[in-house]
Amino acid sequence: MKRIYSVWVVFLLFGGAVAMAEPGLQPEDAHTIDSVLVVRPFGTPLTLQEIEQVRTNVKANYEHLIQNAGHPVAFSTFDVPEGSVIAAYGFKLFASMAAEFVGLAGDPQSVPLIHKDARKWYNDDSEGKDAQILAGSWVKIKSDVLHWYQYPYGGITNNYELRKCANDGSSVHDWYAIRHTFRILPGYSVYGTAWENYRGFSIHNWSSSTFNNPQLRDWSPWGAHAGPVNLTPCISGSPCPLWCWTFHLAGGTTMYAQSSSGAITAKWEMQFTTDIARRRNRRMDPGSSCRVDQPGAGHYKLLWLKSRGVFRHETGFGYAYQGVEYTWHLYVKY
């Protein structure tokens, strides 16, 4: 069942308000069991308490399905940067996983951009198409999207796909892997302002895990890469085979791996060497994997995943800089 609400939401969600459906919804997708999207104006944004109410309405069905899917339940929380509001929130339930969308706006002018991205996400059910379990393979257990915009700087995304090595045959260890899609969108291209890309960072901090003995097993890409080039990260996690994907690192963009197995953290930086790269949207899709000691029943933090972007513009006396970062906190329930 697909549901979308604007400004007000139904009685079951927020206690007695009148629902206002958005026009132009797509037919229900066969892969989606349930989904909801709530969009709000800047002046009356969503609160974290309201989002928890949305989650509560599907939580029982979600946990029942996922617990019967052969892998732990994965869930997440997120940080809201100071000065930003939650302009959109979505939740999709598939047969063996869930997906969420969070849209953060730093000003009223950015809200239409968030709502546009939210509706696009809502009408695309591709997240669930490969959420299946095969012996000795990576199974998708969570997929989340977080977009932030603020005038006049630009936008940052913090999107990820989390997988677990299924049917690994081990009663001692579990293996997890994550693909992180980071995008930086400068104010120059989003709003027509003078603000440009300066730096971008993707950070996977597995050391924040509450599992016993977390170990960073792999990260990709390694080293330094200068665009334009097609990169194919491949993540290992014995006994699962390589999990690979391909993305395009655009021209004028350099990507550096700064990962450390000793620190149990995977990190990459993007730098921009041409005006075109500084003024256009740029993307990287790195990934990493971690092995943990297999736990007993309970809730465990797996990692935090951070996107950080820095923008700049020329003032006549040098450059002014503006940075933003925000974080997903990922958990699993055994």
pLDDT tens-place string over residues 178-210: 999 999 999 999 999 999 999 999 999 999 999
The whole-angstrom separation of Cα 252 and Cα 139 is 35
- Alpha carbon separation from 271 to 65, 99, 194 (Å, rounded): 43, 30, 18
The whole-angstrom separation of Cα 182 and Cα 282 is 8
pLDDT of residue 137: 83
pLDDT of residue 47: 93
pLDDT of residue 158: 96
β-pair partners for 182:
158, 284
pLDDT of residue 170: 79
pLDDT of residue 70: 67
pLDDT of residue 129: 62
> In b/e form, how buried is each residue of 81-111, taking b as 16+ CB within 10 angstroms?
eeebbbbbbbbbbbebbbbbbbbbbbeeebb
Residue in the structure block whose two tokens are 């990493």: 288
Low-confidence ranges of the chain (pLDDT < 50): 1-30, 135
pLDDT of residue 19: 27
pLDDT of residue 71: 75
pLDDT of residue 2: 41
- Alpha carbon separation from 264 to 33, 101, 204, 258, 291 (Å, rounded): 36, 27, 9, 12, 10
The whole-angstrom separation of Cα 49 and Cα 62 is 19
The pTM (predicted TM-score) of the whole model is 0.86
